[in-house]
């Protein structure tokens, strides 16, 4: 293939992937026909699972390579459009595919921080990093730190930060693969995790970046098709317009009107909501009372007796909590859930809503004095301002984090030229944008469905999708007639975020084959991201630590062998961690963005834009950024034993980068100014990366 020119190569790729897309659509149609003639859903699920993983494995085997440049950077000839698709798949994780629309459904406006943060970051990639890193043209991100700042220390800090940020992330992806496969074909999550691992390794093990790139392009096509079909169909059903991104304006208007009605106790439906909320309030009070008697019993040394009495009262069920703490935890959770359902509906589109102190005051005490009202208003305003501050801080951290995650930046090493790298960032964001600007539409359309076709109907005639999902997984769909009026109230429905994407095909009345397609899409999203991350971690170890620091004379064969062995080891550790089902680690994924942003962004950007930046600056900046970010998380995140009271300006731990990023910049600047300017060669290197082609400049192109 190396005999081909770049444009012949491009045309060939176009042909391959057009055939591939056509073939995939034909495959889905055949499965749809099989479903119609009576093949059971489970078989269709298995066919989807085996066929797609088999396909990725096939591409992986076809792309096997023994060439270092092919293994690390796909031979640097991936055209802009294809690199864009690969980056899209690399970027969009299980959380984006399955979770994003659900987050927007549950959080409304406040969820948009993720939509903005995870797209706007590409502006920073385009303006500050991609073209320059491409011109630098090595293999990893620590490579740039090593060459620009000299010595092994900046490189080593880069390696540690890259692994820290990527590892939590990859564990979450592998766990996601386990969940999807288990839900999809009914196998145990742990088995699903190891199955997913096999799927990830077959593509990356033989062909490294080259195999991962071409698999990711294939995965992008599956995931975008799978995401769009149900949404478009839902949009046609509800609005008659096949472009959901435009059509959902109408749906949003109706949703907002319904929200007002449901929050107004003088309307019939509003009054029904009030009674359902009151029932939840009573339940919450009851549970809190029970927790108090439990605490009293424990304080009196009667904990065990209390537990036994409760167990007997509950009829000795097998899943009854084994100790007092677990029982208390269970009740606390139930009380929190009841509390959530006892409040009014939060309007979907309203930005940074306060806590409703004024409304509550007027309801409890219609004759409140002006001073009391003013105090409540001030309280609302304060809550709203804190929300806004956190929203802005989170957006910043997600954006800068996007522009600092090594598995994304690495992708821009694979284009043939600086020119293509610039175009490639555009294509990357374009392909990501397709999904991200659809997610808000899906959230609103799903809300419309729930408000108009679920709320107010009788429990005897629930739609099939509701009872199906309630039976399959109560964490996703819970519905109960709490106030006993036989009708569904909004407060009586509890929805888990993941339900929105998973149930959309059924809500839209599409056949099971589309549900299978959606699961395959989720799987593609999780696998592709896991691939990119694993490769980043393994390459940081094999290339930066082994080759650059331990044995710079290693032969090509040896380098690749080490790379592959490390890939296996890292993958096994990640899968083992995932199989422990660490629920909390999912919270840490958000933290990865703040960590990467604080550690990398200042040193990378100043490395290109400020010639005076030097080794001491880079070391200080990276350590200060990373250190402050970790410190803030530890003192404020309850997972590490931190408490809210330690927060600075009420900023949540997920946005710790708000402090880490400036600390990183300050560190680089101060460290550089108190030590001598970098050597002439380094300054020439900076000029070299700034200009796409500078005659007679030092070369860094080794591949």
Partner 1 sequence: MQLTEKHREYWSKNLRLTAILLAIWFVVTFVATYFARELNEIVILGFPLGFYMGAQGALIIYVLIIWYYARTMNKMDKEYGVHEGEE
Which residues contribute to the site for partner 1 (CB under 8 A)?
5-7, 109, 112, 115-116, 119-120, 122-124, 126-128, 131, 245-246, 248-253, 349-352, 384, 388, 391-392, 395-396, 399, 416-419, 422-423, 425-426, 429-430, 433, 436-437, 440, 684, 687, 690-697
Minimum CB separation from partner 1 for residue 126, in Å? Answer: 4
Nearer to partner 1, 57 or 444 (CB): 444
Q: Write the Ramachandran bin of 484: left for phi over 0, alpha for psi from -120 to 50, otherwise beta.
A: left
Nearer to partner 1, 296 or 385 (CB): 385
Minimum CB separation from partner 1 for residue 123, in Å? Answer: 5
Nearer to partner 1, 264 or 381 (CB): 381
**Residue 405 backbone phi and psi in degrees, to 5:** -75, 120
Nearer to partner 1, 87 or 181 (CB): 87
Nearer to partner 1, 118 or 306 (CB): 118
Nearer to partner 1, 182 or 377 (CB): 377
Nearer to partner 1, 319 or 695 (CB): 695
Query: How many angstroms separate the Cα of 301 from the Cα of each of 290, 305, 325, 326, 330?
Result: 17, 9, 14, 17, 20
The string over 112-150, giving b where at least 16 C-beta atoms fall within 10 Å of a residue's C-beta and e elsewhere, is bbbbbbbbbbbebbbebbbbbbbbbbbbbbbbbbbbbbb
Minimum CB separation from partner 1 for residue 417, in Å? Answer: 5
**Structural contact between residues 406 and 395, judged by C-beta atoms closer than 8 angstroms:** no
Minimum CB separation from partner 1 for residue 396, in Å? Answer: 8
Give the 3-state DSSP-derived string for 72-104, with helices as H, strands as E and coil as C: HHHHHCCCHHHHHHHHHHHHCCHHHHHHHHHHH
Minimum CB separation from partner 1 for residue 689, in Å? Answer: 11
Minimum CB separation from partner 1 for residue 278, in Å? Answer: 30
Two tokens, residue 199: 């799927």
The rounded Cα 627 to chain-centroid distance in angstroms is 24
Nearer to partner 1, 301 or 696 (CB): 696
Those residues whose C-beta lies under 8 Å from the C-beta of residue 593, and which sit 6 or more positions away, are: 117, 165, 397, 398, 400, 401, 402, 405, 657
Minimum CB separation from partner 1 for residue 671, in Å? Answer: 23
Minimum CB separation from partner 1 for residue 611, in Å? Answer: 11
Interatomic CA distance for residues 603 and 620, integer angstroms = 10
What's the angle, vertex CA 267, arms to CA 263 and CA 268, rounded to 5? Answer: 110
**Structural contact between residues 231 and 33, judged by C-beta atoms closer than 8 angstroms:** no
Nearer to partner 1, 26 or 257 (CB): 257
Nearer to partner 1, 112 or 656 (CB): 112
Minimum CB separation from partner 1 for residue 508, in Å? Answer: 21
Minimum CB separation from partner 1 for residue 415, in Å? Answer: 11
Nearer to partner 1, 380 or 531 (CB): 380
The DSSP bridge partners found for residue 477 are: 495
Q: What is the largest CA-CA distance in the chain?
A: 85
Interatomic CA distance for residues 597 and 593, integer angstroms = 6
Task: Quickly list DSSP for 259-325.
Answer: HHHHT-TTSHHHHHHHHHHHHHHHHHHHHHHHHHHHHHHHHTT-HHHHHHHHHHHTT--TTS-SSHH
What's the angle, vertex CA 260, arms to CA 257 and CA 263, rounded to 5? Answer: 150
Minimum CB separation from partner 1 for residue 148, in Å? Answer: 17
Interatomic CA distance for residues 276 and 278, integer angstroms = 5
Nearer to partner 1, 351 or 378 (CB): 351
Two tokens, residue 629: 């970010």
3-state secondary structure of 292: helix
Two tokens, residue 450: 């729930």
The rounded Cα 578 to chain-centroid distance in angstroms is 16
Closest CA to 689 of 622, 614, 605: 605
Nearer to partner 1, 112 or 588 (CB): 112
Those residues whose C-beta lies under 8 Å from the C-beta of residue 105, and which sit 6 or more positions away, are: 443, 446, 447, 495, 497, 500
Minimum CB separation from partner 1 for residue 224, in Å? Answer: 16
Minimum CB separation from partner 1 for residue 91, in Å? Answer: 14
């Amino acid at each position: 293939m190396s005999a081909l020119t770049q444009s012949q190569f491009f045309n060939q790729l176009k042909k391959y992937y057009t055939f591939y897309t056509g073939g995939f659509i034909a495959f889905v149609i055949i499965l749809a026909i099989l479903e119609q003639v009576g093949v059971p859903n489970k078989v269709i699920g298995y066919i989807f699972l085996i066929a797609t993983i088999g396909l990725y494995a096939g591409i992986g085997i076809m792309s096997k390579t023994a060439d270092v440049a092919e293994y690390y950077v796909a031979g640097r000839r991936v055209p802009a459009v294809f690199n864009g698709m690969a980056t899209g798949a690399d970027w969009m994780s299980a959380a984006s595919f399955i979770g994003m629309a659900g987050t927007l459904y549950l959080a409304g406006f406040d969820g948009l921080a993720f939509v903005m943060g995870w797209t706007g970051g590409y502006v920073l990639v385009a303006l500050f990093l991609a073209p320059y890193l491409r011109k630098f043209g090595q293999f990893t991100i620590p490579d740039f730190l090593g060459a620009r700042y000299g010595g092994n220390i900046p490189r080593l800090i880069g390696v540690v930060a890259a692994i820290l940020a990527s590892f939590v992330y990859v564990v979450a992806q592998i766990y996601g693969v386990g969940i999807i496969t288990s839900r999809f074909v009914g196998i145990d999550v742990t088995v699903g995790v190891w199955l997913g691992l096999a799927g990830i390794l077959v593509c990356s093990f033989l062909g490294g970046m080259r195999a991962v790139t071409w698999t990711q392009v294939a995965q992008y096509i599956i995931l975008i098709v799978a995401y769009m079909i149900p949404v478009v169909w839902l949009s046609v059903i509800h609005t008659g317009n096949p472009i959901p991104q435009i059509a959902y304006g109408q749906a949003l208007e109706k949703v907002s009107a319904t929200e007002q009605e449901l929050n107004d106790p003088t309307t019939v439906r509003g009054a029904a909501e009030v009674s359902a909320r009151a029932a939840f309030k009573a339940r919450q009070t009851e549970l809190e009372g029970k927790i108090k008697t439990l605490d009293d019993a424990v304080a009196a040394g009667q904990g065990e007796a209390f537990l036994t009495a409760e167990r007997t009262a509950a009829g000795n069920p097998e899943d009854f909590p084994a100790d007092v703490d677990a029982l208390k935890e269970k009740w606390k959770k139930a009380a929190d859930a009841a509390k959530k359902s006892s409040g009014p509906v939060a309007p979907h589109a309203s930005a940074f809503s306060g806590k409703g102190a004024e409304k509550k005051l007027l309801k409890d005490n219609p004759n409140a004095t002006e001073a009391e009202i003013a105090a409540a208003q001030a309280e609302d305003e304060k809550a709203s301002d804190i929300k806004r501050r956190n929203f802005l801080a989170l957006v910043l951290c997600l954006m800068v984090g996007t522009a600092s995650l090594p598995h994304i930046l690495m992708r821009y090493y694979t284009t043939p030229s600086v020119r293509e790298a610039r175009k490639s960032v555009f294509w990357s964001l374009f392909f990501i944008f397709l999904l991200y600007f659809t997610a808000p539409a899906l959230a609103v359309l799903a809300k419309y469905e729930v408000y108009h076709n679920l709320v107010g109907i009788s429990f005897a005639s629930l739609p099939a999708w509701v009872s199906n999902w309630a039976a399959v997984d109560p964490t996703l769909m819970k519905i109960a007639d709490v106030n006993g009026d036989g009708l569904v109230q909004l407060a009586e429905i509890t929805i888990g975020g993941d339900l929105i994407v998973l149930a959309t095909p059924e809500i839209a009345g599409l056949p099971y084959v589309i549900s299978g397609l959606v699961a395959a899409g989720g799987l593609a999203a999780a696998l592709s991201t896991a691939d990119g991350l694993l490769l980043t971690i393994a390459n940081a170890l094999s290339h930066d630590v082994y080759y650059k620091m331990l044995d710079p004379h290693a032969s090509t064969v040896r380098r690749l062998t080490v790379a592959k062995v490390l890939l296996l080891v890292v993958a096994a550790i990640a899968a083992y961690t995932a199989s422990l089902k660490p629920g909390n680690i999912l919270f840490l994924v958000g933290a990865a963005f703040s960590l990467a942003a604080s550690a990398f962004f200042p040193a990378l950007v100043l490395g290109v834009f400020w010639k005076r930046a030097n080794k001491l600056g880079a070391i200080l900046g990276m350590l200060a950024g990373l250190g402050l970010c970790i410190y803030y998380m530890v003192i404020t995140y309850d997972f590490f034993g931190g408490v809210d009271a330690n927060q600075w300006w009420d900023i949540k731990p997920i946005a710790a980068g708000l402090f880490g990023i400036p600390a990183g910049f300050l560190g680089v600047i101060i460290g550089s100014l108190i030590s001598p300017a970098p050597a002439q060669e380094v300054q020439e290197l900076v000029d070299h990366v700034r200009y796409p082609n500078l005659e007679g400049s030092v070369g860094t192109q080794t591949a």
